[in-house]
Chains A and B, each alone.
Chain A
Amino acid sequence: MSTSSTGGPAAKTTRVPGSGATGARTTRTFEFAPGEVDRDDPLHGELMELNMGPQHPATHGVLRIKVVLDGEHMVEVEPDVGYLHRGKEKTCESLGWRKFFVHTDRLDYLQPLMNNCAYALALEKLGAVPVPERGQTIRVLLMELSRVMAHLIYLGTTSIDLGAVTMFFFTFSERERIYTLLDAYTGHRMNNTYIRIGGVYADVEPAVERDIRAWLDQFPAKIDEFEKMLTGNRIWFDRNRNIGSLTPEMCKAWSLSGPNLRASGVEWDLRKKQPYSGYEHYDFEVPIGTIGDCYDRYAVRIEEMRQSVRICQQALDRLEKSRGGEFLSDDRRYVLPPRGRVQTSMEELIHQFKIVTDMALPKGEAYHAVESSKGELGFFVASDGTSHPLRCHIRAPGLMNVQAIPVLAEGRLFSDMVSIIGSLDFVMGEVDR
């Protein structure tokens, strides 16, 4: 298993003048002074300002990047975000705790169930709601499937940007199969909203479990196929190796987390370090890289998909053992009663009415973070004891990844920008919220 980027052809290192690849970022100011510039120098002439995005296919969403170019070299890079800002945090304040679940799906729309889980876990922490074991296991299964889905998108879009067009179809056909599985379970391909406070909305049918297992059995061979296409590929290697290197110290200073941090050699995974939803009971490994370049980030994500498959298989084993068990808490302060009982019991009808109209969470603050495919996805929720939140802050890992683009890109060739954007991996729905 290739947990780091050892092996493969030796990289050709090109020393770029003023490269920001190692060491702290220095702020450079470039003032155009006509007398100083040698206009006959074909490589270093006038600075050119180039606008990349917001509708550029390689920016993975509506991200605009202002690049100041000196010939082929980027001397100044400034991301401009906010084109997809929909005011999700304000929406949470106006809708109330429960109705915001559907909006969390639309944050990182490549992994809606992961966002649901993160939000639910934060609310459960605030309300001290226990989750039954089977509910936790289903959540783990869904979160790991989400991680694979998001990593597949990373792999497909990054490789299509770097010229490996076939990969895009390979990864999307696999992703489509996960969609079909989720469709069978939740009834939706995207935007599932299947997590509730206290568990999940419905149990997994044995037939769906069988389908997921069948998919899991064939998926590792597909990952090998992806690797065959890319890992030793000369073009892929040259366009990713030694590009956008990050030291562990830089990662921490720039708040990077998740695969980007692990690629730099920091063994930091919230699933291991601060386990939630029973991750401490699963046997899996945390892949780490060595020098934190684009290639390491790729290698880490590939290995994470393999580990996710392992976790999913263990989760399915656990589901088999706990079949028929509770998957949703019966805490009637926050959890809707089953439909059948609402129609026969006055008590349950009152509970349902209270939860739908004004479900209040106790006064106080809580923060919960999960290891999403992009990094640490956290919800900081503050309640004043009423049915509407005082504040719901979404700690989006993608925003930090966008922030790191200038750190990695400045001083490098413009063509490296595509690798850097792809390997940092962000989704604008989450960045802009």
Chain B
Amino acid sequence: MSTQERVVAALAGIQHSLQQPRDGGLSIEIEASVVPQALAALRDRAAFDTNVFVTAIDRFPAEPRFTVCYAFLSTTHNDRVRVQARIPGEKPHIATITHLWPGTAYSERECFDMFGIVFDGHTGLKRLLMPQGYDHFPLRKEFPHQGIEPDRLYREWDQRRRERSPLRSESEA
């Protein structure tokens, strides 16, 4: 049974389309709404036991803007599959899969950190690499390549600190 047959059999009843990626691997696209059940089916019925990564691609200005990519590995069958789901740019959100693979917790946090995609049901969704309280999503296409000048960041942080701490603003006033 080839990987494709196994995956298609596991996804019986779930709408999906096969893609032809350049590297000759197996990649399927599904609706964002069926992500948890489709991936649970891949884990339980097609023996994809390891999550390799969770990330996103920003296709701005195309709409739906974000493609959330999942890659899985089956150590028993020695093969891989990639799953993609497209979500709109306005308030992007998708269901978490941390209950299926606890190891996706950091990948999803990174994805949220970099793209601002909210993973519904993730118990510890906060920034991973950028500092807490940072206002921007660096891997979005509108984020400038040269970065944001520190002055502006400090101003923003300072502003927020003042708002949080009435004591500080009083003493400064």
Shortest beta-carbon distance from A24 to chain B in Å: 8
**Other-chain contact of B52, A81, A128, A378 (Cβ < 8 Å):** A378
The answer to whether A395 and B23 touch (CB under 8 A), given A85-B129, A273-B78, A367-B82, is no
B residues in contact with A368, CB < 8 Å: 23
Count of A-B residue pairs with CB < 8 Å: 104
Q: A174 near B: Cβ within 8 Å?
A: no
> Would you list which residues of chain B between 73 and 125 have a CB under 8 Å from chain A?
73, 75, 78, 80, 82, 101-107, 110, 114, 123
A residues in contact with B104, CB < 8 Å: 255
Asked whether, in the complex, the Cβ of B106 is within 8 Å of the Cβ of A403, the reply is yes
Asked whether, in the complex, the Cβ of B52 is within 8 Å of the Cβ of A94, the reply is no
A residues in contact with B103, CB < 8 Å: 253-256, 400, 403-404
Binding-face segment, A156-164, A280-288, A308-316, A358-366: A358-366
Asked whether, in the complex, the Cβ of B57 is within 8 Å of the Cβ of A382, the reply is yes
Shortest beta-carbon distance from A211 to chain B in Å: 37
A253, B48: Cα distance in complex, Å: 10
> Would you list which residues of chain A between 261 and 281 have a CB under 8 Å from chain B?
266, 268, 273-274
Asked whether, in the complex, the Cβ of A366 is within 8 Å of the Cβ of B23, the reply is yes
Asked whether, in the complex, the Cβ of A126 is within 8 Å of the Cβ of B22, the reply is yes
Q: A376 near B: Cβ within 8 Å?
A: yes
Cβ-closest chain B residue relative to A402: B106
Asked whether, in the complex, the Cβ of B147 is within 8 Å of the Cβ of A125, the reply is no
Q: B64 near A: Cβ within 8 Å?
A: no
Asked whether, in the complex, the Cβ of B128 is within 8 Å of the Cβ of A82, the reply is yes
Contact with A along B4-16 (1 / 0, CB 8 A): 0000000000000
Asked whether, in the complex, the Cβ of A365 is within 8 Å of the Cβ of B22, the reply is yes
A residues in contact with B107, CB < 8 Å: 255, 399
The answer to whether A274 and B78 touch (CB under 8 A), given A380-B55, A380-B69, A391-B58, is yes
Number of interface residues of A (CB under 8 A): 47
The answer to whether A365 and B78 touch (CB under 8 A), given A255-B50, A380-B71, A391-B57, is no
Q: A210 near B: Cβ within 8 Å?
A: no
Q: A93 near B: Cβ within 8 Å?
A: yes
Q: A102 near B: Cβ within 8 Å?
A: no
Q: A177 near B: Cβ within 8 Å?
A: no
Cβ-closest chain B residue relative to A85: B129
The answer to whether A87 and B138 touch (CB under 8 A), given A25-B102, A252-B49, A252-B50, is yes
The answer to whether A266 and B75 touch (CB under 8 A), given A25-B102, A366-B23, is yes
**Other-chain contact of B71, A27, A367, A402 (Cβ < 8 Å):** A367
Q: B157 near A: Cβ within 8 Å?
A: no
A90, B147: Cα distance in complex, Å: 10
A262, B143: Cα distance in complex, Å: 40
The answer to whether A268 and B75 touch (CB under 8 A), given A252-B50, A256-B103, A400-B103, is yes
**Other-chain contact of A253, B101, B106, B123, B139 (Cβ < 8 Å):** B101
Asked whether, in the complex, the Cβ of B55 is within 8 Å of the Cβ of A255, the reply is no
Asked whether, in the complex, the Cβ of A254 is within 8 Å of the Cβ of B23, the reply is no
Q: A433 near B: Cβ within 8 Å?
A: yes
Asked whether, in the complex, the Cβ of A94 is within 8 Å of the Cβ of B53, the reply is no
Asked whether, in the complex, the Cβ of B21 is within 8 Å of the Cβ of A364, the reply is yes
Shortest beta-carbon distance from A273 to chain B in Å: 5
Asked whether, in the complex, the Cβ of B52 is within 8 Å of the Cβ of A376, the reply is yes
Shortest beta-carbon distance from A428 to chain B in Å: 11
Shortest beta-carbon distance from B137 to chain A in Å: 11
Asked whether, in the complex, the Cβ of A90 is within 8 Å of the Cβ of B69, the reply is no
A376, B71: Cα distance in complex, Å: 13
A residues in contact with B145, CB < 8 Å: 90, 93-94
A257, B101: Cα distance in complex, Å: 14
A-B interface, 4 closest residue pairs, ranked by CB to CB distance from nearest: A364-B22, A255-B103, A366-B23, A94-B145
Query: What is B's interface to A at a CB cutoff of 8 Å?
Result: 21-23, 25, 27, 49-53, 55, 57-59, 69, 71, 73, 75, 78, 80, 82, 101-107, 110, 114, 123, 127-131, 138-139, 143, 145, 147
